[in-house]
Structure 1
Amino acid sequence: MTAVDTPSPPATTARPPAHVPRYRQPDVTAMLPRWLRAAVLALLLALVLVPVGYIALASFMPDVDVANGQVVPDEITVTNYVDMWTTVDLGGGLANSLLVSGAVAVVSALLAVVTAYCLVRVAFRGRLAILRALVALQSVPGTLLLLPIFVLFSSARTYLDITIVGTRFGLIVTYLTFALPFSTWVMVTYLRGLPRELEEAAMIDGCTTIGVLRRIVIPLSWPGIIVAAVFAFLLGWNDVLFASVMTRPETQTAAVVLQVFGQTQEGGALPLYGQLMASALVCALPVVVLYLVFQRYLVGGLTAGGVK
């Protein structure tokens, strides 16, 4: 018998899957006419840049020209930037602000990472209540806590013989009271978006929980950590209320120094407006540099966790 060769069926080529269009979030600004968008952007830029531009111009003008309401300077002088360091203790205020705000930013970010990791990865009773409390604490005005915090720190002098009011340590603890809840919630939102499989793989390779936190979680959480640190830094840098109550002249921050400088110029024969404008620009410069350096981390950290 002869074998009959049966023809093999023709190979079918797999067709590529049809292109499925991805959903794109509609651009709200595209619904506006182009000229209207340009007008709105120009108005917003003017509201921000015009006051800042006038402050910059006034810082290079003599005090007489600023007091007369002159906008364009007749002469440009840099004496305001030289004399302001001797008129007020601006250098000491900047040093105190950098020390206090930097310590608050570092401590708040580190504690927020550890706390958020426990809240996200560890299941225990009361975890949901803690998360809700973090959100609820954001609605408490700081002015309501000024007197209780001052009384509590003053009592430490009487009962524990520890001086807290008037020290930088007391100011750091005060700012941590408000910075920790927000920083922890930012890190909770960010850590929820990290894949758990990376941590499980590290534990299979022999890493402990601390090793996973140090080698996996923290390196992948830099955008969230920087967001938490920057907002904690701004809380300490811009505060005037608590810094004016919890400090003495040697530990006053830059914001308090500017406030005192502005109050002393009221009712004088010729207020030092030029030096006041120059001091305001110098105090705002660290915040501007901070935003420019960490701008891309801030955008990535704020939007993390919003899409699953």
Structure 2
Amino acid sequence: MTAPRKGARRRDSEVTRLLPRPLLAVLLTVLLVFVLVPVVYVLSASLNSDAAVARGDFLPTEFTTTNYAKIWTTVALGSGLVNSVLVAGSVALVCAFLSVSTAYVLVRFAFRGKLTILRLLLALQSIPGTLLLLPVFVLFSSASTYVGIQVVGTRWGLFITYLTFALPFSTWVMVTYLRGLPRELEEAARIDGASSWRILTRIVVPLSWPGIVVSGIFAFLLGWNDVLFASIMTTPDSRTAAVALQVFGATSEGGALPVYGQMMAASLVCAVPVVVLYLVFQRYLVGGLTAGGVK
């Protein structure tokens, strides 16, 4: 069998291309402009003085890094970042490994009510979080009265809140991923005498790293970006970085000169962990998000 010629491969790629090359180049350029222009403005404003940013200068006349030094005392960003990392990181780790074990049971075992559980997990995703804000707060605040356990204002109370919302979605991601794994590997291990727990830890988990990373990152982003629940479930000591930014923005607007430069610097500092997370786990994200799409 002769290999296809270079011209034939090029024609095939042109036929399968969704858009013509010039139109694709224009579309990508427009998308890059929409994405990069706000990022460049935030970066330039963080290196500019507050007066220059208030005047509307897009590029700084003189670069200064004082904004990055002031935010640690003005915003108290350090404690907020620590709380966000602790809460969102613990939610990501627990949610990732709970979802893979739950999805393994739902995919590989047959029992009464399995389809109902899957439908309930899907139905939970359609409920807006704003509708559950008041019930969750009332439930957790009443725990100190009836049970004697203080939940509101603690990190672990915020952890339970985020885990409640992140676990159904992460379980659905892992259910989709585990359905694409071959059953033959597990059957061969079971013939050799491996238990279900050993199959899960030695076969399923190592093969499911892309899906685990995707579910963990989405759970991390839920805890990192949330302002609604964190604003009512935390105190100044347990306040997350997102709430610290919101409070800083609200208080600075009342001043004679809003500290826009510090606000931009604080926003960039809070965005760095998420960018690093995506860069580190990029190859796992591509495999996990496309899993189950092609059978």
Give the TM-score range, shorter chain.
over 0.9
> How far apart are the structure 1 equivalents of 2:16 and 2:133?
42
SS of the residue corresponding to residue 17 of structure 2 reads helix
- Report the CA distance between 1:27 and its aligned residue: 8.3
Range 267-276 or range 288-297, more displaced: 267-276
Return the match for 2:174 from 187, 211, 222.
187
Quote the residue 1:251 is aligned against: 238
More helix by share: 2
* CA contact 1:243–1:256 (8 Å) conserved in 2: yes
Q: Would the alpha carbon gap of residues 147 and 211 (structure 1) be closer, same or farther in structure 2, given more than 3 Å must change?
A: same
Quote the residue 2:198 is aligned against: 211
Range 65-74 or range 232-241, more displaced: 65-74
Return the match for 2:101 from 92, 114, 126.
114
Quote the residue 2:19 is aligned against: 32
> How far apart are the structure 1 equivalents of 2:184 and 2:20?
47
Q: Would the alpha carbon gap of residues 28 and 298 (structure 1) be closer, same or farther in structure 2, given more than 3 Å must change?
A: farther
- Report the CA distance between 1:307 and its aligned residue: 1.8
Structure 1 residues without counterparts, runs of 5 or longer: 1-15, 20-24
For 1:116-265, list aligned pairs within 5 A.
116-265=103-252
Quote the residue 1:6 is aligned against: none
Amino acid at match of 2:178: L
> How far apart are the structure 2 equivalents of 1:28 and 1:89?
56
Quote the residue 1:85 is aligned against: 72
> How far apart are the structure 2 equivalents of 1:204 and 1:30?
47
Aligned residues: 286
Quote the residue 2:87 is aligned against: 100
| Deviation readout 1:258-279 (Å, 9 max, x if unpaired) | 0000001113111111111000
Quote the residue 1:286 is aligned against: 273
> How far apart are the structure 1 equivalents of 2:200 and 2:206?
9
- Report the CA distance between 1:26 and its aligned residue: 9.0
Q: Give the structure-1-normalised TM-score.
A: 0.90
SS of the residue corresponding to residue 252 of structure 1 reads coil
Percentage of identical aligned residues: 70
Calculate the aligned-residue CA RMSD, in Å: 1.7
Q: Give the structure-2-normalised TM-score.
A: 0.94
Quote the residue 2:256 is aligned against: 269
- Report the CA distance between 1:204 and its aligned residue: 1.7
> How far apart are the structure 2 equivalents of 1:136 and 1:35?
43
- Report the CA distance between 1:72 and its aligned residue: 1.7
* CA contact 1:93–1:254 (8 Å) conserved in 2: yes
Amino acid at match of 1:274: G
- Report the CA distance between 1:28 and its aligned residue: 9.3
Quote the residue 2:51 is aligned against: 64
Quote the residue 1:22 is aligned against: none
Amino acid at match of 1:109: A
> How far apart are the structure 2 equivalents of 1:183 and 1:288?
21
